[in-house]
Amino acid sequence: MADNLIAAGQLHDPALAAALTAVPRHALVPHFYQQAPNRSWTRVDATDSSYYTTVYSNTTLVTALADLGAGIDEPVSSSSQPSLMIRMVEALDIRDGQRVLEIGTGTGYNAALLSHRLGETNVFSLDIDASLVAMAADRLAAIDYRPTLAVADGAAGLPEHAPFDAIIATCSVPAIPSVWIEQLTDGGTVLADVKVQNTAGNLVLLRRDGQRAVGRFATRYAAFMPLRHTVHATIPNATATAVAISHHRSAHHAVPERDTDALVLPTQQPLLWFLTALRLPVTVTFGYTIDPERREPSHVHLYAADGSTSHVTIAHDHDRHRVSETGPLRLWTHVEDAHRQWTQWGQPDWDRLGFTVDTTTHTQSLWLDEPENPIATLPR
Ligand SMILES: C[S@@+](CC[C@H](N)C(=O)[O-])C[C@H]1O[C@@H](n2cnc3c(N)ncnc32)[C@H](O)[C@@H]1O
């Protein structure tokens, strides 16, 4: 796996390559779950012929499932894609002797890589799920790594072991907790996936400078499972919301259909979706209808818990798309506003977007090109 990642230009740091070679992923991921097209999950372990190939491939492996209230099993923990983990650790630019806190222990695989790289006394990792921490501790000890592990809500950091030179979050957060910045050394870095509404945002790398932390978004998109404040917390789910909405629909009259030239496919245009989500006054989930022949979305749907919906028929041969909406809010107008602004700004990509956390004013702002040019504030 290390050789493949080096050959693919995804692994550059020799010390990390050594960690990847030394740490046996199979010892920390003795089984994982694979999802079939019908959405059912199959458990795969060392008795399956594909197990070792898959464990040593550059793939995310789902390692824990739970029904979070939607009546279906959803992933609640995974061993993240190795190239993503490497990209994140390389971006943090950690040096010998530095102390790192990981939010989201999961399998312990990343904690093992960090322990190999920095020495186990410099590695701290916590997870909200006590059973995952217990399993990770046992499996890490069996391969001779004993980083400090804790069961805690990562939103509070790990004050008893602060300060850290770096904090890496392997679950997404709706905003960067101020305490993370306070638990960093001055000049220390935090790398986390900021996702407003659980689905909109990207990785951001911030460096502490006094009471502020400033930095830019990663140029490549990544997505982690959201931080949960309790083990069984519900994560808003598009399917569940869609079912709930169908009960509401008759209660609200649809407004006349109209055309729009503003389209956002949240999974394909994550930056535009982020700019949209920052404007949305309510939590919105999305879904697609897939055209079975073209194998691409024919419609995109937005659903809000108050019963507001937008259904957009995607015109693949021209740029006027058909919008039909129901419920009290016109959700698609926020897509149109975000699209207009994005066009006015010259259609920026992630490299032009940055982020500032101010721990004295408790504000988190998004900026374009320079911190002096704020364009949005994250919801508190
Ligand atoms: C993608 S997995 C972590 C992968 C892990 N770093 C590894 O190498 O296997 C995300 C983890 O975040 C954890 N998590 C979710 N909410 C959390 C919270 N509030 N505090 C700490 N961990 C949390 C989940 O239980 C899950 O194990």
Contacts of 231 (CB under 8 A, 6+ apart): 128, 129, 130
Q: How much distance in Å is there from the Cα of 171 to the middle of ligand 1?
A: 5
Nearest atom of ligand 1 to the alpha carbon of 113:
8
**Residue 34: inside a domain:** yes
Alpha carbons 354 and 216: distance in angstroms, whole number? 4
What one-character-per-residue DSSP string does 2-48 give? HHHHHHTT----HHHHHHHHHS-HHHH-SEEEEE-TTS-EEEEETTS
Alpha carbons 293 and 26: distance in angstroms, whole number? 39
Alpha carbons 208 and 185: distance in angstroms, whole number? 7
Q: Is the pLDDT of residue 153 over 70?
A: yes
**Residue 92: inside a domain:** yes
Helix (H) or strand (E) holding 136: helix 130-142
- Atom 27 in ligand 1: which residue has the minimum CA distance? 106
Would you state the pLDDT for residue 245?
A: 47
- Atom 1 in ligand 1: which residue has the minimum CA distance? 78
Task: Domain count for the chain, please give it.
Answer: 2
Active site residue 80: yes
Same domain, 90 and 141: yes
Torsion angles phi and psi, residue 285, rounded to 5: -110, 165
Q: Is the pLDDT of residue 238 over 70?
A: no
User: Which of 80, 115, 125, 365 does the annotation list as catalytic?
Assistant: 80
Would you state the pLDDT for residue 143?
A: 98
Would you state the pLDDT for residue 68?
A: 79
- Residue 309's domain comprises 238-344
Same domain, 140 and 10: yes
- Atom 4 in ligand 1: which residue has the minimum CA distance? 106
CB-CB contact of 334 with 325 (8 Å): no
CB-CB contact of 263 with 343 (8 Å): no
The CB of 125 under 6 Å from ligand 1? The reply is no
**Residue 179: inside a domain:** yes
Q: For the segment 87-130, what is each residue's pLDDT rounded down to a tens digit?
A: 999 999 999 999 999 999 999 999 999 999 999 999 999 999 99
Q: Is the pLDDT of residue 251 over 60?
A: no
The CB of 90 under 6 Å from ligand 1? The reply is no
Interior angle at CA 88, CA 6 and CA 174, nearest 5: 150
Alpha carbons 238 and 256: distance in angstroms, whole number? 25
* Helix, strand, coil percentages for the chain (3-state, nearest 5): 30, 30, 40
Structure-token pair, residue 216: 């830019």
Q: Is 113 exposed, middle or buried (0-12, 13-18, 19+ CB in 10 A)?
A: buried
Would you state the pLDDT for residue 235?
A: 59
Q: What is the mean pLDDT of residues 219-228?
A: 92
Boundary residue ending a domain (188, 217, 246): 217
Same domain, 206 and 60: yes
Same domain, 51 and 197: yes
**Residue 378: inside a domain:** no
Angle between helices 14-22 and 82-92 (to 10 degrees): 140
Same domain, 17 and 161: yes
Q: For the segment 30-63, what is each residue's pLDDT rounded down to a tens digit?
A: 999 999 988 899 999 999 999 999 999 999 999 9
Same domain, 204 and 259: no
Helix (H) or strand (E) holding 85: helix 82-92
The CB of 29 under 6 Å from ligand 1? The reply is no
The CB of 227 under 6 Å from ligand 1? The reply is yes
Higher confidence at residue 362 or residue 204?
A: 204
The CB of 107 under 6 Å from ligand 1? The reply is yes
Average pLDDT of the chain is 92
Q: For the segment 154-207, what is each residue's pLDDT rounded down to a tens digit?
A: 999 999 999 999 999 999 999 999 999 999 999 999 999 999 998 999 999 999
Q: Is the pLDDT of residue 243 over 90?
A: no
**Residue 294: inside a domain:** yes
Mutate to test the pocket of ligand 1, among 171, 195, 225, 230 (most ligand atoms within 8 A of CB): 171
Same domain, 70 and 199: yes
Same domain, 178 and 60: yes
Same domain, 27 and 87: yes
The 3-state DSSP class for residue 103 equals strand
Q: What is the largest distance, in Å, between two alpha-carbon atoms of the chain?
A: 65
Helix (H) or strand (E) holding 78: strand 73-79
Alpha carbons 251 and 326: distance in angstroms, whole number? 9
Boundary residue ending a domain (160, 184, 217): 217
Q: How much distance in Å is there from the Cα of 220 to the middle of ligand 1?
A: 21
- Atom 21 in ligand 1: which residue has the minimum CA distance? 127
**Residue 354: inside a domain:** no
Same domain, 73 and 206: yes
Boundary residue ending a domain (217, 248, 279): 217
**Cβ atoms within 10 Å of 246's Cβ, excluding its own:** 12
Q: For the segment 327-354, what is each residue's pLDDT rounded down to a tens digit?
A: 999 999 999 999 999 999 999 999 999 9
The CB of 132 under 6 Å from ligand 1? The reply is yes
Structure-token pair, residue 11: 């692994």
Q: Is the pLDDT of residue 232 over 80?
A: no
Please give the order of strands across the beta sheet that includes 184-196: 148-151, 123-127, 100-103, 164-169, 184-196, 200-209, 212-217, 353-358, 363-368, 374-377
CA–chain centroid gap for 45, Å, is 26
**Residue 242: inside a domain:** yes
DSSP symbol at 137: H
**Residue 363: inside a domain:** no
Nearest atom of ligand 1 to the alpha carbon of 233:
16
